[in-house]
Amino acid sequence: MSQDQTTPRSVGAVAARRLRFAEPIRLRSGATIDEYELVYETYGRLNAARSNAVLVCHALNASHHVAGYYADDPQNVGWWDNMIGPGKPLDTERFFVVGVNNLGGCFGSTGPSSPNPQTGKPYGASFPVVTVEDWVNVQARLADRLGIRCWAAAMGGSLGAMQALQWAISYPDRIRHALVIAAAPKLSAQNIAFNEIARQAITTDPDFHGGNYYHHGAVPKRGLRVARMIGHVTYLSDDAMMEKFGRSLRSGKLGFHFDVDFEIESYLRYQADKFSSYFDANTYLLITRALDYFDPAHDHGGNLTAALSPVAAAFLVVSFTSDWRFPPERSREIVKALLEHRIDVSYAEIDAPHGHDAFLLDDPRYHALVRAYYENVARDVGAERSPAAPSAIEEGESVPMTAGGSFAA
């Protein structure tokens, strides 16, 4: 362990920035978006060699607000704050960390709720389907604008991990390391089934209006609530739920009604209410679709090894034993394909009880491993420790905004 390690602390007050991209981007679907904006945050300092930048990719319902808090909203702490900051596993005194709200998102980047420049009205249902490949292409344009030729690492959990993996495939010369956590190389039929239930909940909500609810001053909250409940259940393990809630009753006895009896019902409703108050239903549809479509092996006759042929980055792959959404076997598929190319890869299976959401929790074995891996990354890219100002990049217009989202699976 290095002697000069800082006591872990928050990266402090942070600010989101916005960049406008005027060059059209052609999407995997064939559709084109002529211009778009991305909202992002950065922490730490980009070194002179521009070699210490780390991209942190978000999953289903998180945002660019990865670490720190907003001065005007100190309760709004970044979704991976336990991982990223001075002295934390991803140490912002060494690395320049970038979080970005993906295209199609609802935290400031261009998405279905943004005005379509051609009509002046929200895109709504006309916003094209975006894929993980599209997001990575868009992130590459952000990297260009920030002057980042090659990422020291791209990192994510779940859908975020899929983006890190896609980076290694799409831009092998622009990424040195990929940290792929709680991932799968593609969704199973069961995974897609859960997504479809969530989408059905949203699209059959009478307030959905075919995706153009903005024009009707409506929000398909009922659908979003159910979608969130389904998602949330899949992020937790049976054991973790039993441990946390058991069969506890709110009032201590059965009510013989269909309102809240059990604590777990109360918890789900609370999570659903919170989520439906800030998340955009169309974005939920888009992101679940991006998950469904992710399958790098698809264009290679289902052969993942062939799909990973371009990969040059080194990998850390981590899974969690109780994750039944993306269980360890799914991560081992990725590891096996990397091994076949003799790619540098380490794989850890963390025996954690929390299910898929374990990637967001600060299990000491998990964090020690990520910390040790970043020590190697730092050596590889020559990332020296420098107590940093929050951000040295002045590109982009700063946006006074807050981003919601606590859970990020």
Partner 1 sequence: MTLSGRPDLDAIAAWVKPGAAVLDLGCGDGLLLKVLNATKRVRGYGVEIADDNVLACVKNGVNVIQSNLERGLQGFDAGSFDYVILSQTLQAMRHTEAIVVEMLRVGRQAIVTFPNFGHWQARWQVALGGRMPVSGTLPYQWYDTPNVHLCTIRDFEQFCAAHSIHILERLVLHEGRPVSFIPNLRGSLAVFRFEKAAH
Residues that bind partner 1 (CB under 8 A): 316, 332, 335-336, 339-340, 342, 344-351, 365, 368-369, 372-373, 375-376, 379
Would residue 238 show up in a list of annotated catalytic residues for this protein?
A: no
In this complex, which beta carbon is closest to partner 1, that of residue 130 or of residue 314? 314
Element at 368 (helix H, strand E):
helix 364-381
Maximum C-alpha span of the chain: 67
Two tokens at 388? 């940093």
Provide, rounded to whole angstroms, the least separation between the CB of residue 89 and partner 1.
12
Provide, rounded to whole angstroms, the least separation between the CB of residue 189 and partner 1.
23
In this complex, which beta carbon is closest to partner 1, that of residue 144 or of residue 351? 351
In this complex, which beta carbon is closest to partner 1, that of residue 281 or of residue 316? 316
Q: Which of 261, 295, 323, 357 is catalytic?
A: 323
For 369, left (φ over 0), alpha (ψ -120 to 50), or beta? alpha
Would residue 323 show up in a list of annotated catalytic residues for this protein?
A: yes
Provide, rounded to whole angstroms, the least separation between the CB of residue 162 and partner 1.
20
In this complex, which beta carbon is closest to partner 1, that of residue 167 or of residue 373? 373
- Residue 243: phi, psi to the nearest 5? -60, -45
Please name which of 68, 70, 60 lies closest in space to residue 102, comparing C-alpha atoms: 60
In this complex, which beta carbon is closest to partner 1, that of residue 292 or of residue 363? 363
* CA 212/CA 123 separation, integer angstroms: 8
Q: Which residue is associated with the tokens 């993306």?
A: 326
Question: Residues 386, 45: contact at Cβ < 8 Å?
Answer: yes
Q: Which of 10, 109, 158, 170 is catalytic?
A: 158
Would residue 58 show up in a list of annotated catalytic residues for this protein?
A: no
Helix ranges (DSSP H) in 24-173: 132-146, 159-170
3-state secondary structure of 98: strand
Q: Which of 65, 177, 356, 367 is catalytic?
A: 356
Residues with catalytic function: 158, 323, 356
